[in-house]
Chains A and B, each alone.
Chain A
Amino acid sequence: MSNVNVEEPKSLFIAPVSKPAPGSVGKTGTWRHEKPVINEEKCVKCLLCWLYCPEDTILRREDDMVYVDYDYCKGCGICAKVCPVNAIDMVPEG
């Protein structure tokens, strides 16, 4: 029996596999009612907004100044609430 040439199946585990990528449900920025606007003069670069942002849409420049990825920001307002110097304003979407 051992010399019977049985072709091995290509894969025993056929399962759908997803890979991590931004925008798995599209551009979630359209969910927003209010958008966070950062006042760069007030910002003290403490990075608390970056730490608490659930979406990873607060991004850091080389000098640790933060900016917002408006394509995906859902506008929850956590960044504005945790900012110790109130440098983030929530502005209604026009």
Chain B
Amino acid sequence: MPVKLRDFPRTHFNMPGNAACPGCPETMGLRYVKMALGDKAVLVIPAGCSSVIQGISPKSGINFPILNIVFAAAASAAAGMKAGFEMLGRDDVQVVVWAGDGGTADIGLQAMSGAAERGDDIIYICVDNEAYMNTGIQRSGATPYGAWTTTTWTGKKEHKKNVPFIMIAHDVPYVATASVGYPQDFIEKLRKAATVKGFKYIHLHAPCPVGWRFDPGLTPEIAQLAVKTGMWPLFEYHNGKLKISSFSRLYRVKEKRVPLKEYLKLQGRFRHLKDSDVKILEEYIDRLWAWLDLLEKAPNPSGTARDLLGK
């Protein structure tokens, strides 16, 4: 169902006057969560920028009921909260984890993996700004190759950890990638995830003006460029079927993609990259799409595996 902007009510989806930096992608993302899920959502937030954005007590800058929890326990706290709501008979409440890439790819991975394996009925959103921005731009598992951070000052030497693929391997009912550059797509995916029972994972790409070193007004443009260069493919994996989302479908063909340099040159964190580094990143993109191609062609990856065993 397409998202119509005129149908949204004239209310505050996020509270203005919060502690986020100008041009913050996380407050953008939180608005879209509110637009998609409304008042029936409860957030669980581990340590990260989103714990700071809330501002100073007794006011909160995020327009949700929030449980702030330690870094490693976001998914398990959400699982417990969901079980509590079920005991109270409140099945209408959506428990949503809003964790950064550090809280998902590195520190919170074991709790998330456990919740996915148990099939807890929660939505897990990883808002991926590709480093530990809150503590001062340290490298994380989700930082891409070549990116400058305060702990990789000559550029990171390893590639980005692909968490959506890890979640597909968990065989959970719903996995999707989204971007703050395409809010309608993100809202649609959230609404769909809310109807699915079981563990839902959405990976939201969120360009951070402070950590990526760009003009705060460019946040949506850089997010869109990441999709257009093929660096961040938007896809949806529902009940064993992978589908490339409409905004990303064109960039399946290599020739149609925007040159990667257009994306890199806007960001100060990639300023030192040599042509050889750009080539390594381009090869990474090709590998990523080859993976997606494989998964898309298989009618049902987990089902296919079962069929193979049957023979």
Contact = CB atoms under 8 A, between A and B. Distances in A.
Contacts of B16: 22-23, 28, 55-57, 69, 71-73
Contact of B60 (A18, A71, A72, A74): A18
B23 A77 contact: yes
B206 to A, nearest CB: 10
Interface string A3-45: 0000000000000111111111111100100000000000000
B15 interface: yes
Main secondary structure of the interface of B (DSSP, over half): loop
A76 B15 contact: no
Given A25-B19, A55-B14, A78 B58 contact: no
B56 interface: yes
Contact of B17 (A28, A52, A59): A28
For A18, A24, A47, the residue with the greatest tally of chain B CB atoms inside 10 Å of its CB is: A24
A85 interface: no
Contacts of A27: 17
B183 A52 contact: yes
B25 A54 contact: yes
A17 B66 CA distance: 9
B22 A75 contact: yes
B61 A78 contact: no
A17 to B, nearest CB: 8
Nearest to B60: A18
Q: Chain A: interface secondary structure?
A: loop
Contacts of B173: none
B158 interface: no
A94 B300 CA distance: 61
Max chain B Cβ within 10 angstroms of own Cβ: one of A46, A54, A71: A54
B20 interface: yes
Interface string B22-40: 1111011001000000000
A71 B12 CA distance: 15
Contacts of B218: 81
Contact of B22 (A17, A19, A31, A47): A31
B64 interface: yes
22 contacts: A16-B58, A18-B58, A19-B59, A21-B15, A22-B16, A23-B17, A24-B15, A24-B19, A24-B54, A26-B17, A54-B20, A54-B22, A54-B23, A55-B20, A56-B12, A56-B13, A56-B15, A56-B31, A72-B16, A74-B21, A76-B22, A78-B216
Q: Nearest 10 pairs between A and B by C-beta?
A: A24-B55, A77-B217, A23-B17, A72-B16, A76-B22, A76-B23, A24-B59, A18-B60, A74-B22, A24-B61
